[in-house]
Amino acid sequence: MSWDSEAKEIAERRRFAEALGGPERIERQHATGRQTIRERLHQMVDPGSFQEVGRLTGSGQYTDGELTSVTPAPYVMGLAKIDGRDVAIGGEDFTVRGGSSWGSDRRKGGQGGFVEDLAFNYRIPLVNLIDGSGGSVSSTSRRGYASLPGIHGFERSCELLGHVPVVSAVLGSAAGGPAGRAILSHMSVMVKGSSHIFAAGPPVVKRSLGQDLTKEELGGSKIAADQAGTIDNVAESEADAFAQVRRFLSYMPQNVWQMPPVIASSDPADRVEEDLLSIVPRDRRKPYNMRKLTSLIADRGSLFEIQPSFGRAVITSLGRMNGKPVGIIANNPMIYGGAMDAAAARKQLHFVDLCDCFHIPIIFLVDVPGFMVGLQAEQNATLREGMRCLHAAMQATVPILTVIIRKCYGMAGMATNDKNGLDLKIAWPSAEWGSLPIEGGVAAAYRRDIESAPDPKAREKELEAQLRSQASPFRTAEAFAIEDIIDPRETRAYLCRFIDAAQGRIATSLGPKPKYGVRP
Amino acid sequence: MAKVEVKAEVTGCVWKVEVAPGQSVGAGDTLVIIESMKMEIPVFTEVAGKVGSILVAEADYVNEGQALVVIET
């Protein structure tokens, strides 16, 4: 007795799954420049590595007890490999009911779905391919009663953030639950022109507030990524979004119990870059290209910037030093002299938390004059956001190395130190520091002295010159108040030496990092 | 011929205008320097072309995102 007819039925049912929402819906999806969920999965994961789970899920249609067709559940997921490493991956199928939630016995995807359980139990990264708007009022009519929010809650989604890397690619219009899950991730990316994300879309906004906006105006990448920082990165195409997901995961361990992945580096750890000696102008009013500076220090071609278009006063990049993953936080003197504004503080806080969680050591390349000042900055709660950022740095226990390139002032400067560790701070000869910059600081501290002088302007300049000579970094080095001043060309070798040595320490402190206290 | 507005990345005071109308510029050239947070922040053009109109003068206060120079490509 063979099970041949059942095997045929399995094959037939799988064909229904492969057909998604039908040719017409698939064509409509393609017409908007978007791929179907199966095309996306194919493009995202290693060839042939996708092991689908739940391919038979859907609504069967029967005639006289005989199966005629199955409308597949609007979520496709399973186990796959990215760069040879296992991941849990899934996404809404927009061609079936617009990818809205599915009233199955056990959820396949979404918050609390099987795909999250897979990532959680097997301690592997989760990749969300998001293209849906979550719950629909039609489920109320199907159920016959309205359920409370949280019946399928975010508890698992939140717990995952402390255990395994979670990456979300927003590939269509995301609202409601799927939008929420896009945020509950370590890195998110959206596609320019074809993805949108909002708490609620244009029809709800029109009805609630009378604002008549297109999806692009309300939640396109200009708003969601560049202005709001709701989503981290912007991609030019779906293929680019997948490349960014792959790139991000390449720096991440599979989970917080494992070491970040080390690769063999072909870039010599003691490579000397002559340009570093002259990259910082002697005229301290003149900025320079911090991205170039960072790229000269890190392993060649290893940098991947997170949130490049948001909070641009700080540049946060994943990278490698001698093959070991690092997080590099560098101030950008081209944007308000590198002063930390509310957006930059939020960005830096997230990045510190990310690196700390996955045991990726942090390198600060410091050129920060302090918090951003002015009415706009106060209205944006810069002080609070800045102190939250400092609080995150004070809680971080991953090794941190500090290189002071130029300015290191105030509380924003303080947030760049390794207060729970070795606290090794090295400086370039161009470095200067203090509780606040000399200009302005002199006028405030010596006001009476300056006002009573016969030539107040000259007296102010004289005091500034006197203080500046005492502010020489060499005097601080004599007192071992800075651990070292180095020739800028030695930076890479120095940092590689310490990042190499830190690996042993990292290996003995793996695991989750529950944090306590109240972030201000 | 397309007109490209080059905008200020920071709020501040126009310190120097480095170009004149009619002048040819290459991608990456400095058009204007804005003094902001005690720093001289250069504003570059990302496109090559000819300088059309200059919308600001030295000592003007400008806002983040404000158009400064029009480049004709």
Q: Provide the residue ranges of all domains of chain A, joining segments of one domain with +.
A: 4-250, 274-431+482-507, 436-471
Q: Say if A4-250 and A274-431+482-507 have the same CATH topology.
A: yes
Task: Tell which residue, A351, A349, A350, A312, has the closest CA to residue A332.
Answer: A312
Q: How confident is the model at residue A443 (pLDDT cuts 50, 70, 90)?
A: confident
Q: Do B36 and A337 touch (CB under 8 A)?
A: yes
Helices marked H in A20-137 — which ranges? Answer: 23-31, 37-44, 114-122
On whether any CB of chain B is under 8 Å from the CB of A336, the answer is yes
Q: Please report residues of B whose CB lies closer than 8 A to that of A334.
A: 9, 41-42
pLDDT, one tens digit per residue, over A46-94 is 999 999 999 999 999 999 999 999 999 999 999 999 999 999 999 999 9
Task: State yes or no: pLDDT of A16 exceeds 80.
Answer: yes
A205 by Cβ neighbours in 10 Å (0-12 / 13-18 / 19+) ranks as: middle
Interface residue of A334, A340, A376, A409 to substitute, partner B, most B CBs within 10 Å: A334
pLDDT computed for residue A177 by the predictor: 87
The helix (run of H) or strand (run of E) holding residue A179 is helix A176-183
Which CATH superfamily does the domain covering A4-250 fall into?
2-enoyl-CoA Hydratase; Chain A, domain 1 (3.90.226.10)
pLDDT computed for residue A301 by the predictor: 97
Domains of chain B (ranges; CATH) run: 3-68 (2.40.50.100)
**Nearest C-alpha of chain B: how many angstroms from A341?**
12
Q: Do B11 and A376 touch (CB under 8 A)?
A: yes
* ipTM of the complex, rounded to two decimals: 0.85
pLDDT computed for residue A59 by the predictor: 92
Residue of chain B whose Cα is closest to the Cα of A286: B40
Level-2 CATH architecture, domain A274-431+482-507: Alpha-Beta Complex (3.90)
Interface residue of A285, A367, A373, A432 to substitute, partner B, most B CBs within 10 Å: A285
pLDDT, one tens digit per residue, over A175-187 is 988 999 999 999 9
On whether any CB of chain A is under 8 Å from the CB of B37, the answer is yes
On whether any CB of chain B is under 8 Å from the CB of A370, the answer is no
Q: Which two structure tokens, joined as six digits, stand for A481?
A: 């108040």
pLDDT, one tens digit per residue, over B43-67 is 999 999 999 999 999 999 999 999 9
On whether any CB of chain B is under 8 Å from the CB of A285, the answer is yes
pLDDT computed for residue A389 by the predictor: 97
pLDDT computed for residue A102 by the predictor: 67
Q: Do B36 and A287 touch (CB under 8 A)?
A: no
Global pTM?
0.93
pLDDT, one tens digit per residue, over A254-298 is 999 999 999 999 999 999 999 999 999 999 899 999 999 999 999
pLDDT computed for residue A106 by the predictor: 86
* Cross-sheet strand order for the sheet of B12-17: B39-44, B30-36, B12-17, B61-62
pLDDT, one tens digit per residue, over B24-45 is 999 999 999 999 988 999 999 9
On whether any CB of chain A is under 8 Å from the CB of B66, the answer is no
- Mean residue pLDDT across chain A: 94
The helix (run of H) or strand (run of E) holding residue A357 is helix A342-357
Q: What are the C-alpha distances in Å from A504 to residues A22, A117, A498? A: 54, 32, 11
Q: Between residues 15 and 34 of chain B, which touch chain A (CB distance below 8 Å)? A: none
Cβ(A238)–Cβ(A486) under 8 Å? no
How large is the average pLDDT for residues A337-351? 97
